[in-house]
Amino acid sequence: MEKIRVGFIGCGGRAGAHMSSFLEMTDEVEVVAVADPVEERRLAAAEKFGCKRIYKDHTELYDHESKETLDALIIAIEPTAHTDTETRAIEKGIPFLIEKPVHIDLEKAEEIGKKIEETGLITAVGFQDRYLDLMDIIKEELPKHKTGGLVYGAWVGGIPGVWWWQKKSTCGGQLVEQNIHLVDGLRYLYGEPLSVYATCSRGIVRPGVDAKEEYDTDDHSTAVIRFSNNVTATLVSGCYSRGVRPRCGLYITLDDMVLDYRLRNNLIISTPDGEKDIPRGVNQTLLLDKAFIAAVRTGDRSLIRSDYADSLKSHRLAFAANKSMETGEVIYF
């Protein structure tokens, strides 16, 4: 089997998870090019794979690489760093897996989405939770019960260490940057939303004390999302906790069952007959990467659970929630 030749644009934290996948896939993947403006990061990445094509950024990589030298790209850069990072891949016809959020500016993401549609390029987005065995169980279980009900979703914790998380203008806010995983999870389970209303709050995290001086993102937000079939989800996001681990995940109340999904860890299913606790049994990022590589190899896009076009729907919902936070209005789709 010929190895799929992969390049990395961005060698930071999240890229490291994809690199770990490829270290487990050395019989089918060869990382041949890496790019990052931070020298230590690009060198460390190159060393992992014995890779010789090392670039200082995406521009230098695209100036030297083509469809003939690269079969696929992983784009894992800060939300604000998306410039022509994707359009140059599209022009060159190189399939890419891109991390969420795919852009800080939804309009620009829509333009990129159109270009992808016109060319038919294979893409995948880093919504890793779609590849979880626990998500599969929930997705299979839901249609067996009366439709409708309440969902409580939460992603509450501290402030991630990366510099760009401190400002809403560079991270997009927690819902867009982080809790978009559960936004996407809700769409995966319930389909397209009907409406969203959201609020946000600041004042708990003290800039310069609990966070960097420039901190100006929301400490917490709450989004109420209506879906068809009488499903209402309340999704909370919070980044003000310190030294404690609030419960994160989805808590789904059906007429005769409760599905208590503890974020990327386990699923507790309660029925009138008792309780079953199922631990996560897969490495979902590895499955995401395997699906992308298999799609590149075979052309079978059905293996990819969220491509750029599908991911735009989750981004639209998260950005609409942001708009609702600003305007106080309900946004209808």
Ligand X SMILES: NC(=O)c1ccc[n+]([C@@H]2O[C@H](COP(=O)([O-])OP(=O)(O)OC[C@H]3O[C@@H](n4cnc5c(N)ncnc54)[C@H](O)[C@@H]3O)[C@@H](O)[C@H]2O)c1
36 belongs to the binding site for ligand X (CB under 6 A): yes
- Residue from 51, 72, 77, 132 that binds ligand X (CB under 6 A)? 77
Site string for ligand X, 117-146 (x = CB under 6 A): ---------x-x------------------
**Nearer to ligand X among residue 33 and residue 231 (C-beta):** 33
Residues 293, 299, 301, 306, Cα dihedral to 10°:
40
- In whole angstroms, give the CA distance from residue 162 to residue 78: 9
Contact present, 293 and 29 (Cβ < 8 Å): yes
| DSSP of 219-232 | SEEEEEEEETTTEE
Helix (H, G, I), strand (E, B) or coil at 276: strand
Work out how close the CB of 283 gets to ligand X at its nearest, in angstroms, rounded to a whole number. Answer: 12
127's CB contacts (< 8 A; 6+ apart) are 100, 181, 184, 188, 288, 305, 306, 311, 314
Question: Judged by CB under 6 A, does residue 175 bind ligand X?
Answer: no
162 contributes a contact to ligand X by CB under 6 A: yes
Q: Which stretch binds ligand X (CB under 6 A): 75-83, 114-122, 187-195, 269-277?
A: 75-83
Residue 35 in the binding site for ligand X (CB under 6 A): yes
The single residue among 4, 6, 11, 263 that binds ligand X, judged by CB under 6 A, is 11
Q: Which residue lies nearer to ligand X by CB, 61 or 254?
A: 61
Report, in Å, the least distance between residue 329 CB and ligand X.
27
Whole-number Å distance between alpha carbons of 197 and 46: 45
Stretch that binds ligand X, among 9-17, 132-140, 201-209, 318-326 (CB under 6 A): 9-17
| 177 vs 260, beta carbon nearer ligand X | 177
Nearest partner of 303 among 127, 95, 131, 71, judged by Cα: 131
Nearer to ligand X, 36 or 289 (CB): 36
**Can you give 55-105 as a three-state secondary structure string?**
ECCHHHHHHHCCCCCCCEEEECCCHHHCCCCCHHHHHHCCCEEECCCCCCC
* Position 191 contacts ligand X (CB under 6 A): no
CA dihedral 313, 197, 202, 250 (to 10 degrees): -60
CA 310 from centroid of its chain's CA atoms: 12
- The answer to the question of residue 325 lying near ligand X (CB under 6 A) is no
Q: Name the segment binding ligand X (CB under 6 A); options: 94-102, 110-118, 195-203, 306-314.
A: 94-102
Q: Which of 19, 65, 71, 78 binds ligand X (CB under 6 A)?
A: 78
Q: Which is nearer to ligand X, 224 or 303 (CB)?
A: 303
- Residues near ligand X (CB under 6 A) are 9-15, 35-38, 41, 57-58, 76-79, 81, 85, 99-101, 126, 128, 162, 177
